[in-house]
Chains A and B, each alone.
Chain A
């Protein structure tokens, strides 16, 4: 593969690596807090991906400036969508932590293999 293509798409490579890392952490780590951190890494990767999709190299923030009427603006929509994404991610994290607290009261541990068995 041409290295230049890879370098030009470097941000996309980072998002995929982060996404895979997060998913792997959720699925393989036994500590429940680490699982929640994995979820957060995964979702952050998606936020990054959307923001890169909206970005244009050399673009300016989409605020109309009368002195530069034909400036190149970046696409603000994906960034706005990610505000919603962040809220969702935040609420999922809060919910997961609340459930973990409850499980800690039941078991006295936050290590998954003690109880998260396949049945």
Chain B
């Protein structure tokens, strides 16, 4: 067997082993935790790039874990969708870990830093496992691993608010995974298989004999994954959890953790059930309605928040609506745009949360009305913030524009032109809560400093925090100006799924 087919599996295993080494290492040599975690994640990122290069030539990696062939054993399948998510997850995690080098000592108590890296790597291993596995029960296990890692990331802050948010997140996430497991149980009941491809084969034969069971299992899966990925009325845990913890943890929770559940849902929906069942049932209309409500209500709730990180957290609720809209449309452009939005939003939200952390690091400010004059004090940080916000609003030349444009094309394809109005309205709502911050940063000065000249100073944050922010801003610009390559890559996936 070729080496390359074992690599994705090794990524999960090495991250897990590194995660379990962290608490021991933290007791023995505390200063080694951060470099080791960053090194492992960097190695995983390099592997992911190699696998992505291999997959982009039309190969699909099939790897039976411990040698058991598919219908009996767990199979790992890396196609273009999985390899895209693999690269995204490991890349973003790598940048966030570089950022954590200095930031985490500032935001967390010294004795929990080791546990922070444990939770981070556990969460990352869960996410990678979730996107590469082809077995639905294995998916459930990785959902739980990711969930527990994410809750531990929230709880690692240790404050009153963070502990409260963590418990709320844990309880609701467990209900969510309970629903998912019930849905998986129904699928197993109908088909007697756990492998996605075998389920698809079996289901195409027997779907007429169980119309009611297909309905039931799809409803359970929608509710379960909806809770997990914070689809609008089920988002109640998200704002607290994402705003009360340390900025690097918020970044990984907001940009990646909620997305991998959508990818898992998409895999079950499109590979196991197939597009035909999806269009026949009312699940599609439900997803469309909920996503439209999410896009508008999430933006509205974000508008009324005063604390920057809470505003960003509610903005995530709105952006999840965009991704679900793309899935709900179910047309080639809609799906492409939804997946592109997963990618773009991961870059934007990470960038925004990291800049929020950088502002807190240098000035100790958390509220959105305290940004006066920061555009001159921290030019690179605020520059990146501006780029990410413009992309959020959907201004041309920035990454967010391409995905919104794709969604608009998708809604034309699906014959629902009114949705374009909703997309534009939501973009305008985004503008109402991002532009005041940027305007303040550049065009007004702090109280007591009104007479100072507006001169650019250097950011007073460590280089390890500045570089990831700058790289993410460049990525957003790259996705906005040269989206061709990425769109081609995503298109390969969509053509295969539809």
A43 CA / B178 CA spacing, docked (Å): 6
| Contact A103–B170 (Cβ < 8 Å) | no
| Contact B185–A50 (Cβ < 8 Å) | yes
| Contact A78–B188 (Cβ < 8 Å) | yes
Instruction: Quote the shortest CB–CB distance from B454 to chain A (angstroms).
Output: 37
From B166, B167, B168, name the one whose CB has the most chain A CB atoms within 10 angstroms.
B167
Contact among B141, B171, B182 for A46, CB-based, below 8 A: B182
With known contacts A103-B167, A106-B163, A119–B144 Cβ distance under 8 A: no
CB neighbours (8 Å) of B465 from chain A are none
A59 CA / B315 CA spacing, docked (Å): 54
0/1 per residue, B131-156, Cβ < 8 Å to A? 00000010001001000100110010
A1 CA / B171 CA spacing, docked (Å): 36
Q: How large is the interface on B (under 10, 10 to 19, 20 to 34, 35 or more residues)?
A: 20 to 34
0/1 per residue, A49-64, Cβ < 8 Å to B? 1100100000000000
With known contacts A46-B182, A95-B151, A119-B239, A103–B171 Cβ distance under 8 A: no
Contact among A84, A95, A103 for B164, CB-based, below 8 A: A103
Q: Describe B's contact surface by its main secondary structure.
A: helix
A88 CA / B184 CA spacing, docked (Å): 16
- Within 8 Å of chain B (Cβ to Cβ): is A71? no
Contact among A43, A88, A106, A119 for B141, CB-based, below 8 A: A88
How many A-B residue pairs have C-beta atoms within 8 angstroms? Tell me.
72
Q: What is the chain B residue whose CB lies nearest that of A88?
A: B144
Instruction: Quote the shortest CB–CB distance from A18 to chain B (angstroms).
Output: 11
CB neighbours (8 Å) of A92 from chain B are 144, 148, 170, 174
- Within 8 Å of chain B (Cβ to Cβ): is A11? no
Q: What is the chain A residue whose CB lies nearest that of B173?
A: A92
| Contact A118–B178 (Cβ < 8 Å) | no
| Contact B182–A19 (Cβ < 8 Å) | yes
| Contact A115–B164 (Cβ < 8 Å) | yes
Instruction: Quote the shortest CB–CB distance from A95 to chain B (angstroms).
Output: 6
Q: Describe A's contact surface by its main secondary structure.
A: helix
Q: How many residues from A make CB contacts under 8 Å with B?
A: 33
Q: Which of B173-200 contact A (CB under 8 A)?
A: 174-175, 178, 181-182, 185, 188-189
- Within 8 Å of chain A (Cβ to Cβ): is B269? no
| Contact A100–B188 (Cβ < 8 Å) | no
With known contacts A96-B167, A106-B160, A119–B240 Cβ distance under 8 A: yes
A-to-B contact residues, CB < 8 Å: 19, 22-23, 26-27, 32, 35, 39, 42-43, 46, 49-50, 53, 78, 81, 84-85, 88, 91-92, 95-96, 99-100, 102-103, 106-107, 115-116, 118-119
Known: A23-B175, A88-B141, A115-B164. 9 other contacts (CB 8 A): A26-B175, A49-B182, A84-B137, A88-B144, A92-B148, A92-B170, A92-B174, A102-B163, A119-B239
Pairs A–B under 8 Å by Cβ, sample size 25: A23-B175, A26-B171, A26-B175, A27-B175, A35-B171, A42-B174, A42-B178, A46-B178, A46-B181, A53-B189, A78-B185, A78-B188, A81-B137, A84-B141, A85-B181, A91-B148, A92-B174, A96-B170, A96-B171, A96-B174, A99-B167, A100-B167, A103-B163, A116-B164, A116-B168
B-to-A contact residues, CB < 8 Å: 137, 141, 144, 148, 151-152, 155, 160, 163-164, 166-168, 170-171, 174-175, 178, 181-182, 185, 188-189, 236, 239-240
